[in-house]
Amino acid sequence: MRVLSGIQPSGKLHLGNYFSMMRRMIDYQAKSDLFAFIASYHAITTVEEGPVLRAGILDAAIDFLALGIDPTKSTFWVQSDVPEVAELAWILSTSITVSQLELAHSFKDKVAQGIVASAGLFTYPVLMAADILLFGAQRVPVGKDQKQHLEITRDIAQRFNHKYGEIFVIPEPDILKDTELVPGVDGRKMSKSYKNAIYFFADEKELKKSVMSIVTDSKGVQDSKDPDSSVLYQIYSLFLDQKGREELADKFRTPGTGYGDLKKALLAQILETFAPFRERRATLLADLDSVEDMLQQGARKARDAAIPFLERARDATGLGYRKK
């Protein structure tokens, strides 16, 4: 099965990114034909400084490779290294109406925030459809905020196929469930914009500060604590299997362990879990040439997979008019 997802190079990764997106991708990598890319074209709808985007793309590539995206098992590339996707986006833009794009929540939200929308921001979902349809992706794992974009993708594909024949695969969304959401230090969904995120590649001092700021009630060392209503318990559980979770719940309930100790244990757990990734990241950072090589190879693999779909679309629409 072909599984595809794109990730915007939006800065440092936090535990929410890791336990929702990253881990799912790594799971898919083991059991399917994973296509993963850094959504650089999408990023220029918001990032308007060249050096910032450039650094962001490389950072994201290094993070993903460090966390286990393996270019020998998956196809991993930077979106703008396969510019065919921009051609397909143009073609697909004729299979969706302006009024349908005007209904997109993410677009409406940005406008409501007072952002003056560029045409690129408006047609963002069309480019996303091109990302997916260009590779014949069957399944697309995304967060809930992308659900409507996937519906738009399916609509575009259906409308195109209706006009021109069965050219594109209709992709199935794989939307993260609410129960899989990772809480931030204040208990709301972990998010960069809420400033409640725990950045696992941060240095130890910063990590400690975030972990220590996780909200708790005022129960003291000698009180029994309720794991079910505890953000600290929820975050800690992400690192544990069923047995570990039960043991941790016991520790909460049994007097004698304070929140401070539990937080220290969580900090140690985070450091331990990410130690190998941190090491790999340092190695990659010291060898940017080989990171760039991997991305170039990834782009070649992606392009080989893309060209047949693009050719079919060009042929079906009449753009590929020359005799073969």
| Interface ranges with ligand TRP (CB under 6 A) | 4-6, 8, 39, 42, 128, 131-132, 140, 142, 146
CB of 228 to ligand TRP, least distance (A): 31
86: amino acid identity, one letter? A
Cβ proximity to ligand TRP: between 29 and 146 the closer is 146
CB of 85 to ligand TRP, least distance (A): 9
Cβ proximity to ligand TRP: between 15 and 214 the closer is 15
CB of 6 to ligand TRP, least distance (A): 3
CB of 141 to ligand TRP, least distance (A): 8
Cβ proximity to ligand TRP: between 4 and 235 the closer is 4
Tell me the C-alpha to C-alpha distance, in Å, between residue 321 and each of 312, 314, 316.
12, 8, 9
Distance CA 72, CA 89 (A): 28
Active-site amino acid positions:
110, 189, 192
Cβ proximity to ligand TRP: between 137 and 238 the closer is 137
- CA-based nearest residue to 92, from 21, 163, 34: 163
Residue nearest to ligand TRP (CB): 6
Tell me the C-alpha to C-alpha distance, in Å, between residue 9 and each of 38, 53, 59, 118.
6, 8, 8, 20
Place of tokens 């208990």: 187
DSSP per-residue letters across 133-157? HTTT-SEEEE-GGGHHHHHHHHHHH
